[in-house]
Structure 1
Amino acid sequence: MTLETDLLALNQKLDALTAQVAYLTEQARLAQQERESRADLVDTAMPIAREAMDIVTRELEEVQEEIRMEDLLRLSKKLLRHVPQLEMLLDQLDSLSDLLATVGPISREMITKLTDLMDELDRKGYFAFARGGGRLVDNVVTSFTEEDVNRLSDNIVLILNTVKDMTQPEIMSFVRNTLLLAEEEVSQPVDTSMWSILRQMQDPAVRRGLALTLRILRAIGVQSVNGQPVQSSS
């Protein structure tokens, strides 16, 4: 039993030693691969580094008279002194980039809708109307003097009230109907003889129209110089 125990212990030690040797061999292989990778990287990077150094050297030769070593050191110190601000600026740029990535699709959709709306307004003639309105305003501005504008501002309330009275529905309907009837009557032959006029005076509508016309003429006649109606007994 003692010999078997010793052999078992020896086998266990041999197994452990074999495992350690295998581990060391694997580590050596990995280290060799790493060294070879570093060597390949150095072989690849060295030409690039030499080319970069040549470019930097050529560029610095062009500005070596304007830039001194003291300037570079001062710039380096300033950059190091402001590293926290630079980090904050980079963080803000990252946030801005995220914001643009979020807002980008929304803004594109808004631009598309705005473009469609502008195209629809153009088809309906809004822009042509605006251009015509611009020319109208330009003509008005160039046709009135400063004195005219001052007088207009003094009477703007009276003008607006007059326009409001003239645009009442009953006034507009009366003017429109009168114009339509006048257009129809103008195309008809007119008998201007005295007998024809006397026959028309027998028409109640003609007499009423004549009476209204005379009343309006009387109202115009009694206007004072300043445009205010004169109160008179009728």
Structure 2
Amino acid sequence: MADNTTQQIAALNEKVDTILEYVNQQRLKSQSLDDLIADVSIVGKDVYDSTVKALDEHEVVIDPDRLRELGIRLAQNIGNFSSILDTLGSVLDLMRDAGPIANEMIIDATTKLHAFEQKGYFAFIKEFGQIIDNIITHYSVEDVRLLADNVVTIMDTVKNLTQPEVLKSVDNAVKVFASMETEDIPQYSLFRVMREMNKPEMKKALGFLVTFMRNLSRDERHS
């Protein structure tokens, strides 16, 4: 009987100790909360005083109604703010995923630019710019206007000059001229010229010249 009573008293004491410990913990928490509230109140008061002072120095007047309206609008758009944050998160995820791809593109572009530089593209463009500068320097606006008026005729002429048979004839003429010794051209008497005129190649050349002049004169009359 005495042992049973002792056990009950011990259990009761243990429960009382537990209750006292719980009460003490709650007291400590309450005290910590009170301290936190006091600190926040002090900080909040300092912030409030500093804000009021700054607004007063800058002569800023806050309308309570407008401030209340702003608060209401902020509360009404909480969903929109959440959507904006979600969108921002998606954009950041996209940037994070696209980062390696962008790096690869930058590396490829750098490699190609280096290859272009090695091949002389940039030097060519630089010299081509010098050509444009010389054209602008040596030709007036009126010259450019005349060029624009006659650009179709010029392009037709270039097109005709780039025909294979024309290019071949021009190439042959250039080769013949290059092979001639212009500083040691023999002199021809009238009799020798007449004798040369009887040769087949000279007759063919004269026929070509006469035909060319006839066709040229005919085209000029038609134009």
TM-score in same-fold range (> 0.5)? yes
User: Which residue is equivalent to 2:121?
Assistant: 124
Q: Aligned partners of 1:134, 1:38: CA distance in 2, in Å?
A: 80
Partner deviation per Cα, 1:146-184 (whole Å, 9 max, x = no partner)? x874x547xx3x665543332122321221231122122
Distance, in Å, in 1 between the alignment partners of 2:142 and 2:129 is 17
| Gap regions ≥5 residues in structure 2 | none
Aligned 8 A contact 1:166 1:172 in 2? yes
Deviation, 1:226, is 2.7
Q: Which residue identity does 2:75 align to in structure 1?
A: L
- With normalisation by structure 1, the TM-score equals 0.66
Counterpart amino acid of residue 214 in structure 1: V
1:23-42 equivalence runs, <5 A:
23-24=18-19, 26-28=21-23, 30-31=25-26, 34-35=29-30, 37-38=32-33, 41=36
Give a deviation string over 1:189-224, Cα, whole Å, max 9, x none: 111222654565566444433332232223223335
Shift of 1:14: 5.5
Matched residues, number: 217
Superposition pairs for residues 72-91 of structure 1, below 5 Å? 72-91=67-86
Aligned counterparts of 1:219 and 1:70: Cα–Cα separation in 2: 95
Q: Residues 121 and 127 of structure 1 are in contact (CA less than 8 Å); yes or no, is this contact kept in structure 2?
A: no
- CA pair 18-204 structure 1, distance change in 2 beyond 3 A: farther
The superposition leaves residues 31-77 of structure 1 with CA deviations (integer Å, 9 ceiling, x where unpaired) of 45535654664576555434322321222324565322222122222
Contact 2:196 2:202 in 1 (8 A): yes
Which structure's residues are more often helix, by fraction? 2
Shifted more, 68-77 versus 20-29: the winner is 20-29
Counterpart selection for 1:101 from 96, 102, 113: 96
Give the structure-2-normalised TM-score.
Answer: 0.68
Query: 2:197–2:203: 8 Å Cα contact kept in structure 1?
Result: yes
Return the offset for 1:102: 2.6
Other structure's SS at 1:100 match: helix
Which residue is equivalent to 2:64? 69
Partner amino acid for 1:215?
A: T
Seq. identity, %: 20
Aligned CA-pair RMSD: 4.0
Query: 3-state DSSP class of the match of 1:92?
Result: helix
Distance (Å, rounded) in 2 between the aligned partners of 1:89 and 1:31: 41
Gaps of 5+ in 1: 228-234
In structure 2, give the amino acid aligned to 1:128. K
More displaced 10-residue stretch of structure 1: 168-177 or 105-114 = 105-114
